[in-house]
Amino acid sequence: SKEQISHDEYQKTADWLMSQTKHRPQVAIICGSGLGMLADTIKCQDSFAYSDIPGFPQSTVQGHAGRLVFGELKGKSCVCMQGRFHMYEGHSLLKTTFPVRVFKLMGVETLIVTNAAGALADGLQPGDIMIIKDHINFPGLAGLNPLCGPNDEKFGPRFPAMSGCYDKGLRCMAMEITKQMGVASLVQEGVYAMVGGPNFETIAEAKLLHRLGVDAVGMSTAPEVVVATHCGLRVFGLSLITNKAVKSYDVSDRVNHEGVLDVGRLHSQTVQQLVTELISRMEINNNEN
């Protein structure tokens, strides 16, 4: 039978975390492959290994630490996932998106997701940043969706709309920040596609995705954004482009994870600066929860 996670299980994890830290985060950040050092810039940290958090899945991918870091970034209370969960690890989509609902129950209002992705658009090069304008959730289109099963009305509606799920205001703010950082030439908006993985896509699959209007491809992010949108979080997403997807049979290039992590480490500074500046500028509703 289909795995279900009860509201109480989310609540239990949220309550445990709120008993362990005084921080009440307004912003949650999910760090993608090689981008975990963003968490290291958080001030007054309280951090927890995923293995110590009741109900949390375990990270198994190189480049994904497995720590939940609470603290302050530019005066804003944040929680950062140093290491995310992927469908290809064998986690159910309920497990990969479990933290999002826990963040919601802790009072988080904005989710920032980052990932490493392969470029399909010709104008995107390794080291570039793609601000996610929208996504295509291929597993979700085939019914691999974290919202499948009974709907929990306490989180959101049975049939949630997804149009405009990547907040326009935050996207405009981010574009403005990249101009002021002097890196606007490395940044563009685009469509992100999630594929299941763990294998990288074939040449025919890369050509198909490109033909379908996809700009960057990865193996994460869409499920977390679907769950975040369902429960009313504001979402901002970006992809660090770590390599170009192979779209031609004439080349012998092959993508590998080590290369993905190398580019991630090389360019994590720019991602970190952009995300930190975005957090410092975003208005936060100081409504008491």
219, 144 contact by CB (below 8 A): no
Looking at 12-20, 42-50, 125-133, 213-221, which segment touches ligand GU7 (CB under 6 A)? 213-221
Q: Out of 245, 275, 278, 279, name the contact with ligand GU7 by CB under 6 A.
A: 245
> Would you count residue 217 as binding ligand GU7 (CB under 6 A)?
yes
Is 194 catalytic? The answer is no
Query: Between 38 and 77, how does the x/- string for binding to ligand GU7 read (CB under 6 A)?
Result: -----------------------x----------------
Rounded distance between C-alpha atoms, residue 277 and residue 220, angstroms: 24
Query: Among the residues of the chain, which ranges form H helices?
Result: 7-20, 93-96, 98-105, 138-141, 168-181, 203-211, 222-230, 257-281
Q: How far is the CB of 141 from ligand GU7 (least distance, A)?
A: 17
- DSSP secondary structure string for all residues of 192-216: EEE---SSPPPHHHHHHHHHTT--E
Residue 149 token pair? 């099963």
Interacting positions 92-151 with ligand GU7 (CB under 6 A)? 116-118
Q: Least distance from C-beta 245 to ligand GU7, angstroms?
A: 4
Q: Which residue is nearest to ligand GU7 (CB)?
A: 118
- 257 classed as catalytic: yes
The distance of closest approach from Cβ of residue 180 to ligand GU7 in the complex, given in angstroms and rounded to an integer, is 28
Closest contact distance (angstroms) between CB of 199 and ligand GU7 is 9
Q: Of residues 260, 274, 279, 282, which one binds ligand GU7 by CB under 6 A?
A: 260
194 counts as binding ligand GU7 under rule CB under 6 A:
no
* 243 carries an active-site annotation: yes
Helical pair 7-20 and 98-105, crossing angle rounded to 10 deg? 60
Quick check: 115 and 61 in contact, CB under 8 A?
A: no
For the CB of residue 241, give the shortest distance to ligand GU7 in the complex, in Å. 8
C-alpha torsion angle, residues 2, 89, 206, 269 (rounded to 10): 130
Best CA proximity match to 281, nearest among 213, 181, 198:
181
Q: Does 243 bind ligand GU7 (CB under 6 A)?
A: yes
- 218, 230, 238, 274: residue in contact with ligand GU7 (rule CB under 6 A): 218
Question: Could you tell me the smallest distance in angstroms from the CB atom of residue 147 to ligand GU7?
Answer: 22
Size of the site for ligand GU7 (CB under 6 A): 17
Whole-angstrom CA distances from 217 to 3, 115, 119, 221, 264 are 28, 10, 7, 11, 15
The single-letter code of the amino acid at 174 is A
Q: Yes or no: say if 184 and 129 are a contact pair by the CB < 8 Å rule.
A: no
Helix (H) or strand (E) segment spanning residue 24: none
Q: Please, are residues 87 and 139 in contact by the beta-carbon 8 Å criterion?
A: yes
> Which residues form the interface with ligand GU7 (CB under 6 A)?
33, 61, 86, 116-118, 200-201, 217-219, 242-243, 245, 255, 257, 260
Would you please indicate which residues are annotated as catalytic (active-site) residues?
Answer: 33, 64, 86, 88-89, 116, 219-220, 243, 257
